[in-house]
Amino acid sequence: MKVLIVKYSNQSVGYLRQDKSGRMSFQYDQQWITKGFAVSISLPLQEEIFPEEKCRPFFEGLLPEGIIRDEIARNLGISARSDFALLREIGGDCAGALSIGSSKEEFSKGSKVLLEGQILIEALSSLKGKPLLAGEKDVRLSIAGAQRKLPVIYENGEFFIPHGDLPTTFIIKPEIAGIEGSVDNELYCLALARKIKLPISDFDGLQLPELIKTDGDVAAVRRKYLLIKRYDRKKENGQIVRLHQEDLCQATGVSSENKYQKDGGPSFKDLFFIIRKHSSQPAWDVRNVIRIALFNYIIGNADAHGKNFSFLLKKDSVTLAPFYDLLSTEVYPNLSSKMAMKIGGKYNPEDIFRRHWHKFAEENSIGSKLIDKEIDYVSKMVWKWHERVARQLFWHEQLYPKIIHDIIKLIEKKLELLKRE
Ligand SMILES: Nc1ncnc2c1ncn2[C@@H]1O[C@H](COP(=O)(O)OP(=O)(O)O)[C@@H](O)[C@H]1O
Ligand SMILES: [Mg+2]
């Protein structure tokens, strides 16, 4: 039997075990049961062991997905199919407050390495072949998602990589290969969301050089990156501490392979159900989910699946986390325009009109007055700000990247569709 320790700061939360046949299980620590809290809505505090089918969605949900996961496993010489081995290798700094490792020593040390000048550029350039820098000595970073990114410590304009057990404080997201202008796109959508008063973490756009190899030569090009402040970290007495979070897939016990509703993943019904049952500010969270659902529809973000909604979990409260991963996907003809979650029985945004929003409200026990009010609010605010935000970010229409023109056009089309009964 192999064992990993699951820690919250310096306390043991529980033990992740793998038996001889490779099956994983989780059990809370006795002391944590008396003093702590459930680290997932899908893993209530109990003495009994959670078998693999119960605990896998939460723990697998801490790991990167798709080819990123495969590349990391290849670089580390472990099986891409083993959640346990991946958590052992990279589960030091995850989304939320938990840290996973194989021995007590792994948790005790902690230092940070300055990424300066050429070293920063090399680190960013190496994300292509070495995701999350996994394989570098003492680097144990994990973050969900199918895209390349780098969690870092960012202080006074300098970037650091933690070695050992130090929390990262920001996430750097580079351009997504094959999705032109993804950084400008996300920057614009986040800025627009903030203008309409949706809860969003602080963020910024960065321009940094990246090294590219061409025919044996190395050249440097300037690239755009998105820098996002982690809402699951905060400063306490001069020290950065981790706050706990889990995403909607983890909360509903669905593994990341099934994150889309059509594959059995969470729906808006599940999201509202969890808020009403667990949130300590249900009315506020319900209203913000209605707003983000409308906002995602208007900007054409079809990828708002169960791993793109999260909850902040504390001992005595559960609240919806700020929104993230806001990207207009519908403007790319090569991406599926099917929505990750149904709205009023429809997946295809072209088929969604005002009456489907009323059906969405009815299905989710939202009053028709409230949905009308929110449709009105979000439409008016997006209309008011969509051009202005573009100007604030890119100065002049003539300087807008092509993708921004496309998103603006799409927004205007959607605002028209929303008026149709
Ligand atoms: N601002 C943030 N603070 C804390 N965690 C975040 C933040 N933004 C994203 N995350 C976490 O990182 C994961 C990946 O980020 P996301 O932007 O969704 O990337 P991807 O495009 O790869 O899906 C999310 O599922 C969430 O758990
Ligand atoms: Mg995501």
**Which ligand 1 atom sits closest to the C-alpha of 231?**
3
- CATH code of the domain containing 358: 1.10.1070
Whether the predicted pLDDT of 183 surpasses 80: yes
Predicted confidence at residue 107, as pLDDT, reads: 61
Predicted confidence at residue 212, as pLDDT, reads: 80
- 153 contacts 162 by C-beta, under 8 angstroms: yes
- 171 contacts 93 by C-beta, under 8 angstroms: no
**122 and 97 together in one domain:** no
Q: Give which of 335, 340, 368, 355 is closest to 417, Cα–Cα.
A: 355
Residue 198, classed as helix, strand or coil, is: coil
Across the chain, what does the average pLDDT equal?
95
Q: pLDDT over 90 for what percent of the chain?
A: 90
Write down the pTM of the prediction: 0.97
**20 and 100 together in one domain:** yes
- By most ligand atoms within 8 Å of CB, the mutation choice from 40, 63, 143 for ligand 1 is 143
Q: What is the mean pLDDT of residues 379-408?
A: 97
- Specify which residues 310 forms β-bridges with: 247
- Which tops the pLDDT comparison, 415 or 117? 415
Closest C-alpha residue for ligand 1 atom 20: 145
**Which ligand 1 atom sits closest to the C-alpha of 303?**
23
* Active site (catalytic) residues: 303
- 289 contacts 248 by C-beta, under 8 angstroms: no
Q: Is residue 146 lining ligand 1, measured as CB closer than 6 Å?
A: yes
Q: What is the mean pLDDT of residues 163-176?
A: 94
- Label residue 110 by pLDDT band (50, 70, 90): confident
**212 and 65 together in one domain:** no
Residue 308 C-alpha to ligand 2 middle, in angstroms?
A: 5
**128 and 44 together in one domain:** no
Q: What is the mean pLDDT of residues 291-317?
A: 98
How far from the centroid of its chain's Cα atoms is residue 7's Cα? 21
How many independent structural domains does the chain possess?
3
Q: How far apart are the first and last CA of the chain?
A: 60
Given 61, 83, 105, the domain boundary residue is 105
**342 and 365 together in one domain:** yes
Whether the predicted pLDDT of 190 surpasses 80: yes
**284 and 413 together in one domain:** yes
φ/ψ (deg, to 5) at 323:
-80, 150
**Dist. CA 276–CA 287, nearest whole Å:** 12
**Structural domain that includes position 8:** 2-105
**39 and 133 together in one domain:** no
- Label residue 104 by pLDDT band (50, 70, 90): low
Q: What is the mean pLDDT of residues 3-20?
A: 96
pLDDT in tens, 250-284: 999 999 999 999 999 999 999 999 999 999 999 99
**276 and 169 together in one domain:** no
**218 and 297 together in one domain:** no
Predicted confidence at residue 106, as pLDDT, reads: 61
**235 and 260 together in one domain:** no
Residue 17 C-alpha to ligand 2 middle, in angstroms?
A: 28
**78 and 129 together in one domain:** no
Break the chain down into helix, strand, coil percent, rounded to 5: 40, 25, 35
Given 71, 105, 139, the domain boundary residue is 105
Residue 96 C-alpha to ligand 2 middle, in angstroms?
A: 15
Lowest mean per-residue pLDDT among 97-106, 123-132, 392-401: 97-106
- 102 contacts 249 by C-beta, under 8 angstroms: no
Q: pLDDT over 70 for what percent of the chain?
A: 99
Given 239, 271, 290, the domain boundary residue is 239
Residue 34 C-alpha to ligand 2 middle, in angstroms?
A: 34
Q: Is residue 93 lining ligand 1, measured as CB closer than 6 Å?
A: no
Predicted confidence at residue 247, as pLDDT, reads: 98
Predicted confidence at residue 105, as pLDDT, reads: 60
**251 and 400 together in one domain:** yes
Q: Is residue 95 lining ligand 1, measured as CB closer than 6 Å?
A: yes
* Residue 364: half-sphere exposure toward Cβ, Cα within 13 Å: 28
Lowest mean per-residue pLDDT among 13-22, 212-221, 247-256, 342-351: 212-221
Predicted confidence at residue 126, as pLDDT, reads: 86
Q: What is the mean pLDDT of residues 81-85?
A: 97
Q: What is the mean pLDDT of residues 196-215?
A: 90
Whether the predicted pLDDT of 390 surpasses 90: yes
Predicted confidence at residue 51, as pLDDT, reads: 98
Q: Is residue 297 lining ligand 1, measured as CB closer than 6 Å?
A: no
Q: What is the mean pLDDT of residues 60-79?
A: 97
